[in-house]
């Protein structure tokens, strides 16, 4: 398929099947960042109510930076991967402290912020300021592998990047990436070509995983300060598992130890 035909196909699909999300109605880089972080590990339809609620409670970087971590984590409940909430708050704090509350319009500076990688930085530039930047993420991989690597396995990003750059709409990257994301979401419901990416990693089951146990322990501590023994009584997890989780959560900045062996959210 020629690049021109490819662009036409994507645009025609988008014209007929454009999805309506609240984060597509804003040009605020903070709100776009919140949506990007939420969407990293969660389906869009599940994100909508959490995004709306989160933005109402923390409407800007100042509000998020000055909020208690406990407030942020309680608002985040239901999305999973609590590190994302911690990264988001830390990022807001850095933007307030180092950039006077304004997001830098610079790819490298954006990538230097907590929780922001190349794909998220590119999305912020495109969706907030319509700045054309090459973005590589799961949905985009799906689209380009589907059209340009139909029979190939283990497709590397370095093979996709020249095509993404060549077909990028430099006049309106905001709409172009929305169209690519929507087509990629459609492909995921059928063949999901991103599985043929060299960068594809299968997500492990949540039920019974260490990740589920971590979330459970953190949820308990969010309700009230607890000792390791109290947590073990509630969860029935083995003592060594409780100690491991507590150590990790403390090291990562989620919780801290206070008097009488109690652990509370930082």
Reported confidence tier of residue 148, pLDDT bands at 50, 70, 90: very high
Asked if the model's pLDDT at residue 206 lies above 80, the reply is no
Q: Mean of the pLDDT values across residues 117-135?
A: 97
* pLDDT of 201: 78
Write down the architecture of domain 3-196 according to CATH: Orthogonal Bundle (1.10)
For the segment 59-79, what is each residue's pLDDT rounded down to a tens digit?
A: 999 999 999 999 999 999 999
Q: Give dist(CA 36, CA 178) in Å, integer.
A: 13
Going from N- to C-terminal start, the domains of the chain cover: 3-196, 210-265
Mean pLDDT of 131-151: 95
> Beta partners for 256?
264
Name the CATH code of domain 210-265 (choices 1.10.238.10, 1.20.1290.10, 3.40.1380.20, 1.10.10.10): 1.10.10.10
Look at residue 186 in the predicted model and tell me its pLDDT: 96
Cα–Cα distance for residue pair 213/208, rounded to 1 Å: 7
Distance CA 222, CA 243 (A): 17
Q: In the chain, what percentage of residues exceed pLDDT 90?
A: 88
Answer yes or no: same fold for 3-196 and 210-265.
no
Query: pLDDT, tens digit, for every residue of 7-36?
Result: 999 999 999 999 999 999 999 999 999 999
Structure tokens at 59: 């409407």
User: Which residue of the set 16, 36, 137, 175 is catalytic?
Assistant: 36
Average pLDDT over residues 168-190: 96
Q: Using 50, 70 and 90 to split pLDDT, how confident is the model at 82? A: very high
Residue pLDDT, tens place only, 84-125: 999 999 999 999 999 999 999 999 999 999 999 999 999 999
Is 36 a catalytic site residue?
yes
| Whether the predicted pLDDT of 175 surpasses 90 | yes
Taking residues 233-240, report their average pLDDT: 95
pLDDT band per the 50, 70, 90 thresholds, residue 209: confident
- Does residue 1 register a pLDDT over 90? no
- Nearest Cα residue to 141 out of 154, 122, 128, 124: 154
Average pLDDT of the chain, as a whole number: 95
* Residue 243: pLDDT over 80: yes
């Amino acid at each position: 398929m020629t690049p021109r035909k490819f662009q036409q196909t994507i645009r025609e699909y988008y014209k007929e099947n454009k999805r309506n999300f609240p984060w597509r109605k804003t040009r605020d880089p903070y709100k776009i960042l919140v949506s990007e972080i939420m969407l990293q590990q969660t389906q869009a339809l599940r994100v909508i109510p959490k995004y709306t609620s989160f933005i109402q409670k923390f409407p800007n970087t100042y509000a998020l930076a000055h909020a208690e971590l406990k407030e942020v984590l309680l608002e985040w409940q239901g999305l999973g991967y609590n590190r994302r909430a911690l990264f988001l708050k830390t990022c807001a704090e850095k933007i307030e402290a180092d950039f006077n509350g304004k997001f830098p319009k610079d790819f490298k500076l954006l990538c230097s912020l907590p929780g922001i990688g190349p794909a998220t930085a590119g999305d912020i530039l495109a969706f907030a300021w319509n700045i054309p930047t090459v973005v590589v993420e799961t949905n985009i991989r799906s689209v380009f592998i589907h059209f340009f690597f139909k029979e190939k396995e283990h497709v590397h990003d370095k093979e996709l990047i020249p095509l993404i750059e060549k077909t990028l709409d430099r006049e309106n990257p905001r709409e172009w990436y929305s169209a690519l994301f929507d087509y990629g979401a459609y492909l995921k419901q059928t063949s999901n070509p991103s599985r043929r990416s060299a960068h594809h990693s299968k997500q492990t089951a949540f039920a019974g995983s260490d990740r589920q146990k971590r979330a459970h322990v953190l949820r308990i501590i969010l309700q009230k300060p607890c000792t390791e023994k109290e947590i073990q009584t509630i969860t029935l997890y083995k003592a060594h598992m409780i100690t491991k989780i507590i150590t990790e959560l403390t090291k990562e900045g989620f919780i801290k130890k206070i008097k009488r062996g109690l652990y509370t959210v930082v």
